[in-house]
Amino acid sequence: DNRIAIVGAGHAGGTAAALLRQHGWTGPITLIGDEPVLPYQRPPLSKAWLKGKADAGALALKHDAFYAERAIALKLGATVAGADAAARSLSLSTGETVAFDTLILATGARARGLGVPGHDLPGVLALRSAADAERLKTALATSGRLAVIGGGYLGLEVAASARSLGVDVVVIERAPRILARVASEPLSAFFQDYHQRRDVVFECDAEVAAFHGEDGVLRGVALADGRTIAADLALVSIGAAPNDALARALGCACDDGIIVDSRARTSVPGIYAIGDATRRPLPLYEATACVESVPSALEQARQLVADLTGAPAPAPEAPWFWSDQYDVKLQIVGLPIGVAQTYLRGDRDSGRFAIFHLDAEERVQAVEAVNAPAEFMFGRMLVADRRRVSPDRLADATIPIKQCLA
Ligand code: FAD
């Protein structure tokens, strides 16, 4: 029997185990994770769950019995501390060893830290795991003012959730604008305005120099320009770093993420990698990237299952992502690579619009849809199929989106 071991019982690892059984894999499967809980979804941790609108049970990918019924052996609360590619064996922090024929690395990513003085004060938190989220939720219950360090999606979602819990929020961003790496300028401006109208304060172009505390309690965030921003709680949300140390130890090629092909194979035969830990190909853009999103992790899980079961490789998907802040649902498809022209469809002030990014041949490269599910859904097809559109019709929101093809 071909024994499969999966390291990392997160969204990618849990999904891969379930899909393998669904596609008829009969060999032994062992799913190993260092968190002491069943595989769960992280997206609600900054959104519905943080606001108290989803309970812990709703986060689990599958219920307990699912794994037993499908003969998926779970080893939770166990860190894979060492691995031997030649001997095909893993050593666990529990003292056990697990033998494998095929290995799937789904080790995810960790929150990047901010190595400034005071970063270890009790009121300076990060958010990656359910345990982190518990700490944040407990702290928010008694916090007067939260400083969010980093104006990316995660930070802004926590800012929105904290406002709905009645906590004052200041967002501190090093770049000149929020979402600089991940959104177009008009979309950044929309979100900044939306948050400001709900009394969130923004400090852009601001570099954190230190966290100040008194008697072990956070009092403020010192900026490089000499100012101190008052806060009794801080969330450091400045991005994630792929967990690729185990892959390196196994001899897999890595470049800020485990390098995989479009079948989720690493450079070492018999070792696959999926999810946030990877640097993956994006065939639609002839590029590679670390894509930290649930849809990407799920696509890679399907790729590896196809490869292992001998099924044809699934057609490449257009990368997509979502974010929920207040009553705004943002959905993004594609990447703004090779963009020559940008069109706004709908009215920004109405809170329902979409921004289309086209290349020089008027093919859709990316769509940022705000409360605009039809534009997003159609955008997925446009991006994946590299369709050309008519910019004039696109910019006229009275013309149905499906009639905007060139
Ligand atoms: P993870 O889910 O991080 O799982 C990896 C697991 O491996 C972890 O449990 C880790 O502890 C474990 N592990 C690592 N090393 C070892 C080891 N040596 N031994 C044992 N176990 C190990 N994505 C979206 O698409 N939309 C969103 O709205 C969104 N919101 C998010 C909100 C938050 C708060 C966070 C944290 C993430 C969000 N994401 C979102 C990103 C999404 O959750 C990730 O893309 C997804 O979880 C990736 O799955 P993964 O299995 O690769 O990694």
Give 332's pLDDT tier (boundaries 50, 70, 90): very high
pLDDT at 1 over 90: no
Which CATH entry fits the domain spanning 113-236: 3.30.60.50, 3.40.50.2300, 3.30.420.40, 3.50.50.60?
3.50.50.60
- Cα-Cα-Cα-Cα dihedral sign, residues 31, 35, 38, 41: negative
Quickly name the fold that domain 327-403 has: Enolase-like; domain 1 (3.30.390)
- CA atoms 106, 107, 113, 115: torsion sign: negative
**Exposed/middle/buried for residue 137 (C-beta within 10 Å: 0-12, 13-18, 19+):** middle
For atom 15 of ligand 1, the residue with the nearest CA is 107
Mean pLDDT of 3-29: 97
**276 close to ligand 1 (CB < 6 Angstrom):** yes
For residue 296, give every residue at least 6 positions away whose Cβ sits within 8 Å of its Cβ, in sequence order, or none. Answer: 275, 280, 319
Please give the pLDDT value at position 56.
78
pLDDT at 303: 98
Q: Do the domains 4-110+240-309 and 113-236 sit in the same CATH topology, yes or no?
A: yes
Determine whether the shortest distance from the Cβ of 365 to ligand 1 is under 6 A.
Answer: no
The verdict on the CB of residue 33 being under 6 Å from ligand 1 is yes
Instruction: Report pLDDT for 169.
Output: 98
Structure token digits, residue 291: 């894509």
Q: What is the pLDDT of residues 335-351, one digit of tens each?
A: 989 999 999 999 999 99
In terms of phi and psi (left: phi > 0; alpha: psi -120 to 50; beta: otherwise), the region of 349 is alpha
39 C-beta closer than 6 A to ligand 1: no
Confidence of residue 216 (pLDDT cuts 50, 70, 90): confident
How does pLDDT run across 230-282, given as a tens digit for each residue? 999 999 999 999 999 999 999 999 999 999 999 999 999 999 999 999 999 99
List, for residues 345-395, the tens digit of each pLDDT value.
Answer: 999 999 999 999 999 999 999 999 999 999 999 999 999 998 999 999 999
* CB burial of residue 377 (10 Å; 0-12, 13-18, 19+): middle
Q: 100-126 pLDDT, tens per residue?
A: 999 999 999 999 999 999 999 999 999
Q: Is 44 in the pocket of ligand 1 (CB under 6 A)?
A: no
ipTM metric? 0.99
b/e burial code for range 201-239 (CB count within 10 A of at least 16 → b): ebbbebebbbbbbeeeebbbbbbeeeeebebbbbbbbbe
Residue 332 to residue 181: CA distance in whole angstroms: 14
How far is ligand 1, taken at its centre, from the CA of residue 42, in Å? 6
- Residue whose CA lies nearest to ligand 1 atom number 29: 43
Cα–Cα dist 300/118, whole Å:
39
> Which pair of tokens denotes residue 327?
């009553």
- How does residue 218 score in pLDDT terms, banded at 50, 70 and 90? very high
> Of 188, 166, 157, whose CA–CA distance to 43 is shortest?
157
Q: What is the pLDDT of residue 127?
A: 98
The answer to whether the CB of 25 is under 6 A from ligand 1 is: no
Domain 4-110+240-309: assigned CATH number:
3.50.50.60
Q: What pLDDT digit, counting tens, does each position of 45-69 carry?
A: 999 999 999 887 889 999 999 999 9
75 lines ligand 1 (CB under 6 A): no
* Nearest ligand 1 atom, CA 46: 34
The full 3-state SS of the chain, as one line of letters, equals: CCCEEEECCCHHHHHHHHHHHHCCCCCCEEEEECCCCCCECCHHHHCCCCCCCCCHHHHECCCHHHHHHCCEEEEECCCEEEEECCCCEEEECCCCEEECCEEEECCCEEECCCCCCCCCCCCEECCCCHHHHHHHHHHHCCCCEEEEECCCHHHHHHHHHHHHCCCEEEEECCCCCCCCCCCCHHHHHHHHHHHHCCCCEEECCCCEEEEEEECCEEEEEEECCCCEEECCEEEECCCEEECCHHHHHCCCCECCCEECCCCCECCCCCEEECHHHEEEEECCCCEEECCCCHHHHHHHHHHHHHHHHCCCCCCCCCCEEEEEECCEEEEEEECCCCCCEEEEEEEHHHCEEEEEEECCCCEEEEEEEECCHHHHHHHHHHHHCCCEECHHHHCCCCCCHHHCEC
Which residue puts its alpha carbon closest to atom 53 of ligand 1?
108
Query: Residue 301 C-alpha to ligand 1 middle, in angstroms?
Result: 14
Domain extent listing, the chain? 4-110+240-309, 113-236, 327-403
Tell me the average pLDDT of the chain: 96
